Amino acid sequence: MDFEDSLLRLGDAAEADLKERFDEIDRISFLHTKRILEAFARHKVSDACFNPTSGYGYDDLGRDKLDLIFADVFGAEKALVRTQIVNGTQALTVGLFGLLRPGDTMLSVAGKPYDTLEQVIGLSGRPGDGSLKDFGVGYACVELTKDGKLDFPKMEAEIDKPGRKVRMLFVQRSKGYLNRRTLTSAEIGELVAFARAKDPGLYVVVDNCYGEFVEEKEPSAYGADLVIGSLIKNPGGGMAETGGYLAGRERAVELCSYRLTSPGTGGEVGATLGVNKSLYKGLFYAPHTTAQALKTAHFAAYVFEALGMEVEPGWKERRADIILAVRTGSPEALCALCRGIQAGSPVDAYVTPEPWDMPGYTDRVIMAAGAFTQGSSIELSADGPLRPPYTAYLQGGLTYESGKIGILSAAQALLDAGLCKIGGTNA
């Protein structure tokens, strides 16, 4: 990995200018680590919690205590943490099908949800495959305002439409593949207050992926009925090999547990097969690992902005998730950036990513992910759909040092291809 001297000097300047922001990230990591340690002590975590169970998994001590710990840490009444949940999309599907019934309408209040939910909702895919639409659940969408805020007047108009029974306000906290800002937990708290005033029976459900442990509080601490995410993102701390979680109000989580298993058994079953230790260790590491990913994101924003690219959020801005959007402007630049990330990865560094028709996505997607755990978004990765403005979405970094190297590798790939130059836009 040979980096130009000018690029190394840019990296040094970034770290000097980012010191105050890095200090704030460390402060929040400390608060979350303290909260997790207190929860571990309160629920008497011991070596017995790591023992495996098989079959039905009745009375799995480690599983049941981990549910309680997640609820405490997320400021929720109840949580469901399971390795039987294979990814974030399944966790979200469990939440949607757990709460929505025929005749209900799901109102997405921050624009269209992430691409992989389209077939779950019934916006695409074959009729009869089992989407919400197949089961008589309606869908409506409200875009954010021009300045990226929740649009409460338009929400109210959608809820009040004659003949419509809006049952759920669904909000994707992170930007996904959309060119918009990420919402803060406090803003989602405003949505909760709006929902309670409008109709106490409205569910507020949050796709919390990429946002865990970034701010001081999670949306569930502000009263969201459900927050949902994947364990191979922030809350798994790079240690969890698979799994997902749902946390929030007790009745909402209970209904979702019936969808995951069956009515009557819910969260009482689910063998852990010896993986509990990695989930506990992952949660223990999660605030620190998330802090490493945040530092990597700020560093990347500084570097790519200096290369003349538009980034969101900017390197000086506070963040509400670990994702950085880099608008590269061309398919060539998008591919070069992703290939540079891949070359700077600890696993499969020799592989050259190519765009492909990835299941669940509407456009061809290029993905760079040299991760120890397949698909792990807390490890440094970059991906994006091949559509204008050819935005690369970067996230992760198990350690800041490795994340920094990955970002420098991507920048060097762009420089070598003649697709950008160091312009000193941060000066």
Claim to verify: residue 276 and residue 365 sit in the same structural domain: no
Q: Quote the percentage of the chain above a pLDDT of 90.
A: 94
Each residue of 93-146: pLDDT tens digit?
Answer: 999 999 999 999 999 999 999 889 999 999 999 999 999 999 999 999 999 999
147/326 Cα distance (integer angstroms): 19
Each residue of 181-230: pLDDT tens digit?
Answer: 999 999 999 999 999 999 999 999 999 999 999 999 999 999 999 999 99
Per-residue confidence (pLDDT) for residue 427, from 0 to 100: 37
Claim to verify: residue 187 and residue 239 sit in the same structural domain: yes
204/194 Cα distance (integer angstroms): 10
Claim to verify: residue 95 and residue 221 sit in the same structural domain: yes
Q: In this structure, is residue 425 part of a structural domain?
A: no
Burial class (CB in 10 A: 0-12, 13-18, 19+), 68: middle
DSSP string covering 152-217: HHHHHHHHTSTT--EEEEEEESS-TTSSSPPPPHHHHHHHHHHHHHH-TT-EEEEE-TTTTTTSSS
Instruction: List the beta bridge partners of residue 385.
Output: 365
Q: Average model confidence (pLDDT) for the chain?
A: 96
Which of 262, 283, 304 is the endpoint of a domain? Answer: 283
Per-residue confidence (pLDDT) for residue 52, from 0 to 100: 96
Q: Kindly report the pTM of this predicted structure.
A: 0.95
Claim to verify: residue 226 and residue 344 sit in the same structural domain: no
Average of per-residue pLDDT across 298-308 = 97
> Within 10 Å of residue 34's Cβ, how many Cβ atoms?
11
Residues 6+ apart with CB under 8 A from 224: 188, 192, 204, 205, 206, 248
Q: pLDDT class for 177, splitting at 50, 70, 90? A: confident
Q: In this structure, is residue 390 part of a structural domain?
A: yes
135/117 Cα distance (integer angstroms): 15
- What total number of domains does the chain contain? 2
Q: In this structure, is residue 427 part of a structural domain?
A: no
State phi, psi for 373 to the nearest 5 degrees: -110, 125
Q: Quote the percentage of the chain above a pLDDT of 70.
A: 99
Q: In this structure, is residue 424 part of a structural domain?
A: no
DSSP string covering 340-351: HHHHTSSSSTT-
CATH number, domain of 145, equals: 3.40.640.10
Q: In this structure, is residue 197 part of a structural domain?
A: yes
Per-residue confidence (pLDDT) for residue 21, from 0 to 100: 98
Q: In this structure, is residue 426 part of a structural domain?
A: no
Q: In this structure, is residue 37 part of a structural domain?
A: no
Claim to verify: residue 260 and residue 139 sit in the same structural domain: yes
Each residue of 356-385: pLDDT tens digit?
Answer: 987 777 789 999 999 999 989 999 999 999
Average of per-residue pLDDT across 135-158 = 97
Which of 257, 283, 309 is the endpoint of a domain? Answer: 283
Residues 6+ apart with CB under 8 A from 110: 142, 144, 150, 171, 172, 173, 180, 183
DSSP state of 375: T
pLDDT for residue 387 is more than 80? yes
3-state secondary structure of 79: strand
Claim to verify: residue 313 and residue 223 sit in the same structural domain: no
CATH number, domain of 292, equals: 3.90.1150.60
Per-residue confidence (pLDDT) for residue 115, from 0 to 100: 85
Claim to verify: residue 291 and residue 279 sit in the same structural domain: no
CA 89 to chain centre: 11
Claim to verify: residue 269 and residue 360 sit in the same structural domain: no
**What letter represents residue 253's amino acid?**
V
Claim to verify: residue 102 and residue 246 sit in the same structural domain: yes
Claim to verify: residue 278 and residue 361 sit in the same structural domain: no
Domain range enclosing 382: 5-31+285-416
Each residue of 253-274: pLDDT tens digit?
Answer: 999 999 999 999 999 999 999 9
The CA radius of gyration of the chain, in Å to the nearest whole number, is 21
Claim to verify: residue 262 and residue 119 sit in the same structural domain: yes
Q: In this structure, is residue 111 part of a structural domain?
A: yes
Claim to verify: residue 154 and residue 20 sit in the same structural domain: no
Which of 283, 301, 329 is the endpoint of a domain? Answer: 283
Answer for the pair 361, 176: CB distance below 8 angstroms, yes or no.
no
